[in-house]
Amino acid sequence: MSARSRGVAAGDGAERDRDSDQSQKAAKRAARTSSGVPLTRRGSHYGGVLPDKITIYRGPLVRLYGHDSERLRREIRRVVLHEVAHHFGISDERLIEMERY
């Protein structure tokens, strides 16, 4: 991966997981964040910026899928691939069309 590649970090998710009444959908959204500019929105003068970053929060994923280690592995993979798709400029709507949301 080059210096401009999207990095992946992990955290416990405590700062995003304080409300025990969150819906499962909200908990899934809280499981990750992404920062950076999609490749499709970068112009010829894009540069001098920090690398893009995906952060995966452990807490929500373990709470939702921790009872099944194989399901947890699949969900982590799905979340990372979802965020990488955004890096390449693929919208949620397009992911839904592709049945990859």
Q: Delimit the domains of the chain by residue range.
A: 7-39+51-97
Query: Residue 6: pLDDT above 90?
Result: no
7-39+51-97 is classed CATH 3.10.450.230:
no
Residue-wise pLDDT for 42-91, tens only, equals 998 889 988 989 888 899 999 999 999 999 999 999 999 999 999 999 99
> What pLDDT is stored for residue 63 in this prediction?
92
Place of tokens 């010829």: 44
Return phi, psi of residue 75, to 5°. -70, -40
Residue-wise pLDDT for 7-55, tens only, equals 555 555 554 444 444 455 566 666 777 788 889 999 988 899 889 898 8
> What pLDDT is stored for residue 97 in this prediction?
96
Pair of tokens at residue 14: 């405590």
